[in-house]
Structure 1
Amino acid sequence: MLVGYGRVSSSSQSLDVQFDALKAAGCEKLFAEKESGASTDNRKALADALDFIREGDTLLICRIDRLARSVGDLETIVATIKRKGAFLKAIEQPIDTSSPAGVAFLQMLGVFAQFETAIRKERQAEGIAKAKAEGRYKGRKPTVDAEAVRALKAEGVRPVDIATKLGIARASVYRALSA
């Protein structure tokens, strides 16, 4: 049986292109999710797909980066598939774990996917550092109204009651008061 798995990183992205390709390739069962590929944590559809596959099945993906972004996660996923007597194939890349060449290509692409993630994080950190140095990056907007916290404290309201009244954590009250 061909079992398809698709993934995008954010809820604003569409799975349609991957679904169309997986259906066209003959997948009888599809699993999909909108989660980051940086880790396998919180990837319920992936866990369900790995649980679903049986001996002789093939897990079909569009590209390796839809499955994992780290060599460690990729190795774990492939080991799970292999232990079940199943295979992994990619539509857009020559990956097929039923052949030695396909396994070798899978491992090479896994290294590049991890490298791409590391480079992207590095560029993002550089951009944030530059924006901070130029005074353009202030972080996310505050979610706590510090003035309201201070006003309630000035009225003699206890921090725990301020937190309850404003619907915020008590630690946020203390941070607002110390700022």
Structure 2
Amino acid sequence: MIVGYARVSSAGQSLDIQEAVLAEAGCEKTFSEKQSGTSVAGRVALAAALEFVREGDTFVVTRLDRLARSVADLHQLIERLNSKGVGFRVAQQAGIDTTSSTGKLTLAVLAAVAEFETEIRRERQRDGIAKAKAAGVYKG
């Protein structure tokens, strides 16, 4: 069975696009939630999806950042899927498919890049806040 997982970070965002992509990818069942991605803990739909999948299934997400924000979390989730005999695929990032050795390598590289991008974004945000505080316009 092909099982999908969709996540948006806030209640104001829509799951519709991700759910459509997952349906196009052949997902027969999709678990969706509106939950921050900073931690895997507390993501009820993700926990349900991981419990639901069985040996021979394929677990699909639209993009890596919908599943995990850190390489450590991603590797832990992939290892959990592997231990159950479940493949992993990313619908909108070609080449990520853990059923092949090339796909596993691609996943490792892209996970590292995704974590790097998140750290750069945080640095820019901190810089912006510091500048706003110095200018006396920071409201947070």
TM-score using structure 1 length: 0.75
Q: CA deviation at 1:123?
A: 0.7
Aligned to 1:36: 36
The residue type paired with residue 40 of structure 1 is V
Q: Which runs of 5+ in 1 are unaligned?
A: 140-179
Aligned to 1:155: none
What is the DSSP-based 3-state SS (H/G/I as helix, E as strand, rest coil) of the residue aligned with 1:89? strand
1:58 aligns with 2:42: no
Aligned to 1:82: 82
Q: Which structure's CA Rg is the greater one?
A: 1
1:105 aligns with 2:106: yes
Stretch of structure 1 that moved more, 15-24 or 34-43: 34-43
Residues 100-179 of structure 1 correspond to what in structure 2 (within 5 A)?
Answer: 100-139=101-140
TM-score using structure 2 length: 0.96
8 A contact 1:60–1:90 mirrored in 2: yes
User: Higher relative contact order at CA 8 Å, sep ≥6: structure 1 or structure 2?
Assistant: 2
Q: CA deviation at 1:21?
A: 0.9
Q: Which runs of 5+ in 2 are unaligned?
A: none
- Superposition RMSD on alpha carbons, in Å? 0.9
Percent identity between matched residues is 55
8 A contact 1:39–1:70 mirrored in 2: no
Stretch of structure 1 that moved more, 25-34 or 125-134: 25-34
Runs of 4+ with deviation above 6 angstroms: none
Q: CA deviation at 1:37?
A: 1.8
Q: CA deviation at 1:38?
A: 2.2
